[in-house]
């Protein structure tokens, strides 16, 4: 997919939680093979700011691609960033990038609270996904600073709204009626995460000391513990009054923000997160816990989700009113209520005086956060994005001229995806083995993520996305034939999993009928031999409950997708369309293929037995072998290393 992030804020370097989370999200998508671009801005515009920004990039060994026209363009972690420094119009430049990049999806977020870029995104053809990272910046409900019905109506036009926490998703549903969902969009840097929590570290630290982040509690604690060293790390919310208050305390040190959070946390003894607003989640809580640094945090908003059940969550009196003005940091001016410092003083004193308690909490924090990080993935968001990107944001009339080909009958979005595949194929060096991969029902490019790095360099992995706007196996295979036929002059192999195995098999037979080269090998994974579909009478379409039960049994769809009603509503239609194609597929006899076949399967697959795999032997006049792996229907995910090792050996034959 081609994904465009509208970032009306800093992108790189950035130290705010929302900005950093947006960057890590698109970097994770880029790492999974998507083409990602960002349009971002500096806090203030001008030629001096432009030159300063170039110096910041140079200090980080980032070499710009272009610096003309008041925009700095560079690549970082697989993402192309366009940072507006003194271009006459951010809106006009973003519009030009929508037209030039032609994304399959646009991401907008609460980091654009005035909806400057959201309005442009919603007028464009691609679907728009809105990332809600702060309830303060939403235009409705009790947490927001400035309610606006018109801006709420604009949000309703987004194709999906995703909350950074369950708290945010529930808030959006309750106060606007917008069917928001929660999937992980606050990702982390790749491991390892050093163990930095030490009882003798330097500081009790607050990141982004400002009114909404609880600077009043932080300063009061610094006054109560004059012998203890405190540190404030100013970022997006810290204004001049906050800096003056920090400087007035002899036991408070001001630390510069750091690109690498380890530089802050290795000096931190305890992290304070005394937020007084409805914090959406707080990525800093998880970052500190991962590194074994104890965290004392407010029990507000989504912070409880970030704390993962580990002490301490303490009460505060939340901000309930904002003045109709901004400070110099463009943060709404809050009326901060007085606070009860007692629970905060007691918790901090115990951690500062009881080393054994400190060590227990540090170990528990790290172990819990590491377990969380191990299972944290962009895949649920990616699945949502793939489903949304398959649906046009606005209807466009199509005019047919003459008899349409199977490729013509695909949706414009599907033709774009196939075109992306073809451009990738065309760029592969001659002589490389093309491994055309066909996914399971409802699967996409992500099913084959990570294969390239584990297979020989002589192999190019080419996922082929199934067209969901066709209604029969014959139409689907014909569309894929139109896509791959011009590229069969180089050696190639077909790999198909589950439904994809039947697609690969029928595509190979179509190649033979059209007198085209056959694949060097056909690898059928997790699928019964096609002759079991001889004379097949399709069963009735299953109910939603039956369909979900079948998906759970196969263990290939994330539980967070199946357990969330709104996410199910978005994902199930596409899964059903693919499943209907396969459910109605009927095998017809033809001679065996003149290419080797390998049949892979999982020993615990509830639907495909070894007998089903061995029956593939009847479909080849060449060599044949069965390989059974541990695991179930999606063994290739749960036993990926073993699977890719065998695949590499077979491809080398």
Bridge-based pairing state of the strands 597-602 and 313-314: unpaired
**Tokens representing residue 94 in the block:** 């973003």
CB burial of residue 644 (10 Å; 0-12, 13-18, 19+): middle
**Which of 188, 187, 232, 226 shows the shortest CA–CA distance to 213?**
232
Beta bridge partners of 313: 297
CA distances from 551 to 56, 402, 503 (A): 49, 41, 20
Q: Which of 498, 525, 543, 645 is catalytic?
A: 498
CB burial of residue 534 (10 Å; 0-12, 13-18, 19+): exposed
Burial readout 431-444 (b: 16 or more C-beta within 10 A, e: otherwise)? eebbbbbbbbbbbb
CB 4 within 8 A of CB 169: no
CA–CA separation, 361 and 547 (whole Å): 44
**Tokens representing residue 568 in the block:** 């199910």
CB 493 within 8 A of CB 433: yes
Bridge-based pairing state of the strands 322-326 and 332-334: antiparallel
498 a catalytic residue: yes
CA distances from 414 to 154, 165, 483 (A): 27, 31, 11
Residues contacting residue 164 through CB under 8 Å, at least 6 positions apart: 21, 131, 132, 133, 182, 185, 186, 280, 281, 302
Beta bridge partners of 252: 230
CA–CA separation, 357 and 365 (whole Å): 12
**Tokens representing residue 127 in the block:** 């679907």
CA–CA separation, 222 and 234 (whole Å): 16
Catalytic residues: 498
């Amino acid at each position: 997919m081609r994904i465009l992030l509208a970032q009306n804020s800093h992108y790189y370097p950035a130290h705010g939680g929302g900005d950093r989370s947006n960057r890590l999200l698109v970097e994770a998508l880029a790492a999974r093979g998507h083409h990602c671009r960002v349009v971002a801005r500096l806090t203030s515009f001008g030629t001096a700011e432009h030159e300063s920004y170039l110096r910041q990039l140079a200090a980080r060994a980032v070499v710009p691609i272009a610096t003309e026209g008041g925009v700095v363009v560079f690549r970082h972690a697989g993402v192309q960033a366009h940072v507006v420094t003194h271009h006459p119009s951010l809106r006009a430049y973003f519009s030009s990038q929508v037209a030039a990049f032609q994304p399959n999806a646009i991401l907008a977020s609460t980091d654009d609270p005035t909806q400057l870029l959201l309005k442009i995104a919603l007028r464009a053809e691609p679907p728009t996904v809105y990332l809600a990272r702060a309830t303060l910046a939403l235009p409705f409900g009790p947490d927001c600073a400035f309610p606006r019905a018109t801006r709420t109506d604009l949000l309703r036009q987004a194709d999906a709204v995703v909350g950074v926490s369950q708290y945010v998703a529930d808030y959006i549903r309750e106060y606007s009626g917008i069917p928001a969902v929660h999937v992980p969009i606050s990702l982390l840097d790749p491991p390892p995460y050093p163990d930095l929590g030490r009882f003798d570290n330097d500081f009790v630290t607050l990141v982004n000391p400002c009114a909404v982040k609880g600077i009043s509690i932080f300063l009061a604690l610094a006054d109560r513990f004059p012998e203890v060293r405190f540190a404030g790390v100013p970022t997006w919310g810290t204004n001049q009054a906050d800096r003056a208050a920090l400087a007035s305390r002899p036991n408070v040190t001001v630390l510069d923000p750091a690109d690498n959070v380890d530089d802050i946390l290795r000096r931190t003894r305890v992290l304070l997160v005394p937020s007084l607003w409805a914090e959406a989640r707080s990525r800093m809580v998880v970052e500190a816990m991962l590194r074994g640094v104890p965290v004392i945090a407010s029990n507000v908003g989504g912070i409880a989700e970030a704390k993962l059940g580990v002490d301490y969550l303490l009460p505060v009196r939340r901000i309930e009113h904002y003045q109709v003005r901004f400070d110099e940091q463009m943060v709404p001016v809050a009326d901060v209520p007085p606070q009860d410092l007692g629970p905060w003083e007691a918790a901090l004193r115990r951690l500062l005086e009881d080393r054994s308690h400190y060590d227990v909490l540090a170990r528990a924090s790290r172990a819990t956060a590491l377990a969380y990080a191990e299972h944290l993935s962009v895949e649920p968001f990616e699945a949502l994005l793939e489903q949304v990107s398959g649906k046009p944001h606005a209807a466009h009339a199509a005019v047919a001229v003459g008899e349409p080909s199977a490729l013509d009958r695909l949706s414009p979005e599907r033709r774009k995806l196939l075109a992306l595949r073809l451009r990738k194929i065309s760029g592969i060096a001659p002589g490389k083995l093309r491994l055309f991969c066909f996914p399971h029902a409802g699967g996409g490019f992500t099913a084959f993520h990570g294969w390239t790095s584990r297979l020989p360099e002589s192999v190019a992995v080419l996922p082929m996305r199934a067209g969901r706007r066709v209604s029969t196996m014959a139409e689907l295979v014909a569309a894929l034939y139109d896509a791959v036929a011009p590229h069969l002059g180089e050696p190639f192999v077909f790999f198909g999993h589950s439904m994809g195995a039947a697609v690969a098999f029928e595509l190979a037979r179509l190649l033979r009928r059209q007198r085209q080269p056959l694949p060097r090998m056909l690898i059928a994974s997790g699928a019964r031999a096609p002759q079991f579909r001889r004379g097949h009478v399709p069963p009735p379409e299953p109910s939603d409950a039956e369909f979900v039960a079948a998906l759970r049994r196969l263990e290939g769809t994330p539980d967070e997708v199946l357990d969330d009603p709104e996410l199910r509503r978005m994902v199930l239609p596409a899964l059903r369309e693919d499943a209907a194609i396969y459910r109605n597929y009927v095998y017809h006899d033809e001679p065996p293929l003149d290419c080797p076949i390998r049949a892979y399967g999982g020993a615990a697959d509830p639907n495909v037995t070894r007998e089903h795999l061995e029956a593939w032997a009847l479909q080849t006049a060449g060599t044949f072998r069965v390989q059974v792996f541990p695991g179930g229907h999606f063994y290739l995910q749960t036993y990926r290393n073993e699977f890719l090792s065998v695949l590499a050996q077979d491809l080398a034959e």
